[in-house]
Amino acid sequence: MSTKHPSCRAIELDLVATATGDAEPRAAERVHRHLDTCAECRDEFGRYRAVDSVARGLRSTPPADALAKSRAGLESRLADLKQRRVAYRIFPSPLGHILVGRSEHGIAVVEYLHGGSSLRASRLARVEGIEPVPGGPELERLQRDLLEFIGGRRRDLDWTLDWRLARSDFERAVLEATAAIPYGAVASYAGVARRIGKPSAVRAVAQALRWNPLPIVVPCHRVIGTSGRLTGYAGDKLGLKQQLLSVEGVKLHTARRDASVAREAMYALGEGETEYCLPTCGSIGTRSLALLTLFASRADAEARGYAPCTNCRPDLHPL
């Protein structure tokens, strides 16, 4: 349809670009050389100049009130999202893939991932009121801390915790009592139930720990049955419980599909007492585990301010 001269057609794209301030300098030079000799293209150039100017004139300023309203709406939705946001990081560990998540308020979740290494394998993706977002390098420290802990090179995870994933006050109380069990020590579900003032709620304590949103940090692996058996962990991950306790130096008897704490190889601390004993001290060897905390080492007990018993003298006759 165009009756233009071939040289005009050849330069059309550059002409438009030049007229609308969008051309490379060399192309612009070519165009201007052509314009010097071609009145038709000069006219066309002028029209494109006008088009460009009118087009740029379409720049509009939205009404200030509409803009302010939109901004306010955004701020409020952002604040809400921020409240719900949990930045997470997934990394491999000797215990399998682990997800760690942090909210504005602290570490909200640690999770062993089953059958996958993405968020989809995580419970976090399905928790109501939580908005999981991939975390940045600020979560690297958490990964490092956890790997050091699992490797036995770190004893404390001095993290600020966000308890929002605890599903009830009861659950939160169980988690906090569990968090107070020291490194290298074990207590029983019955013992935790006593500590939160609900001595008959042993099964409920076990259930609460089954859904522990912060394993490792809230050391539910340090909670065992009154028989000394390790019983459950993170559903079906008894092996992990065994690994974590071994790292902390807790002595275990392991049978084929079962493991229990070797209480004869652990120091014992009676409920409400301030001195720890040898497992042979008085009647302590026969006392229910509901009433005891067992320590793998003297150092672990003394780190918590407990003194050696003045009768059995674990300081003079260490295990």
Partner 1 sequence: MGLQPFETVVTAHHAEIYRYLLRVTSRSGDADDLSQETFLRAYRAWGGLDDGANVRAWLFTIATNLARNYFRSESRRRRAYAGVGEIRTDVDPASPEEARRFRETRALVERVVDGLPLKQRLAFVLRKLHDLEYDAIGKSLECSPESARAHVFQALKKIRLGLNGHELPMMESVR
The helix (run of H) or strand (run of E) holding residue 254 is: strand 252-254
Task: For residue 101, give every residue at least 6 positions away whose Cβ sits within 8 Å of its Cβ, in sequence order, or none.
Answer: 86, 87, 88, 89, 107, 108, 109, 110, 111, 124, 132, 135
Query: What residues numbered 138-177 form the site for partner 1, per CB under 8 A?
Result: 138
- Nearest alpha-carbon partner for 146 in 240, 83, 261: 240
Is 74 a binder of partner 1 (CB under 8 A)?
A: yes
Q: Which residue in the list 8, 38, 41, 220 is annotated as catalytic?
A: 220
In the bound complex, what is the minimum distance in angstroms from residue 60's beta carbon to partner 1?
5
Beta-sheet pairing, 275-277 with 307-308: parallel
220 is catalytic: yes
CA dihedral angle for residue 280, residue 286, residue 297, residue 100, rounded to 10 degrees:
180
C-alpha to C-alpha distance for 168 and 133, rounded to whole angstroms? 25
Does 134 bind partner 1 (CB under 8 A)? Our answer is yes
Encoded tokens for 116: 């996958």
Binder of partner 1 out of 71, 105, 120, 287 (CB under 8 A): 71
- Kindly tell me which of 115 and 136 has the beta carbon lying closer to partner 1: 136
CB 201 within 8 A of CB 189: no
Pick the stretch among 80-88, 182-190, 207-215, 305-313 that binds partner 1 (CB under 8 A): 80-88
Give the nearer residue to partner 1 in terms of CB position, either 64 or 316: 64
DSSP state of 59: -
Does residue 32 belong to the site contacting partner 1 (CB under 8 A)? yes
User: Please, which residue, 46 or 92, has the CB nearer to partner 1?
Assistant: 46
Give bridge partners of residue 233 from the DSSP assignment: 236
Q: Which residues pair with 274 in a beta bridge?
A: none
Among 1, 2, 25, 59, indicate the residue that binds partner 1 (CB under 8 A). 59
**Is residue 272 near partner 1 by the rule CB under 8 A?**
no
- From 25, 115, 129, 137, residue interacting with partner 1 (rule: CB under 8 A): 137
C-alpha of 164 from chain center: 13
Least separation in angstroms between residue 6's CB and partner 1 is 18
The residues facing 268 across adjacent strands are 277, 294
Q: How many residues bind partner 1 (CB under 8 A)?
A: 48
- Does 50 bind partner 1 (CB under 8 A)? Our answer is yes
101 touching partner 1, by CB under 8 A: no
State both tokens at 271.
Answer: 């409920």
What is the rounded end-to-end Cα distance, in angstroms, of the chain?
Answer: 101
Q: Does 125 participate in binding partner 1 (rule CB under 8 A)?
A: no
Q: Which stretch binds partner 1 (CB under 8 A): 81-89, 110-118, 144-152, 235-243?
A: 81-89
- Rule CB under 8 A: is residue 255 a binding residue for partner 1? no
- Quick one: 70 or 311, whose CB is closer to partner 1? 70
Q: List beta partners, residue 133.
A: 87
Residue 53 vs 227, nearer CB to partner 1: 53
The answer to whether 40 contacts partner 1 (rule: CB under 8 A) is no
Q: Does 39 bind partner 1 (CB under 8 A)?
A: no
Nearest to 107 by CA among 160, 54, 51: 160
Question: Please, are residues 88 and 134 in contact by the beta-carbon 8 Å criterion?
Answer: yes
Handedness of CA 282, 286, 290, 292 (dihedral sign): positive
Binding of partner 1 at residue 9 (CB under 8 A)? no
**Nearer CB in complex with partner 1: 73/282:** 73
Distance separating alpha carbons of residues 121 and 255, to the nearest angstrom: 31
Active site residues: 220
Q: Give contact residues for partner 1 (rule: CB under 8 A).
A: 13, 16-17, 20, 22, 32, 35, 42, 45-63, 66-67, 69-71, 73-75, 77-78, 81-82, 85, 87, 131, 133-138
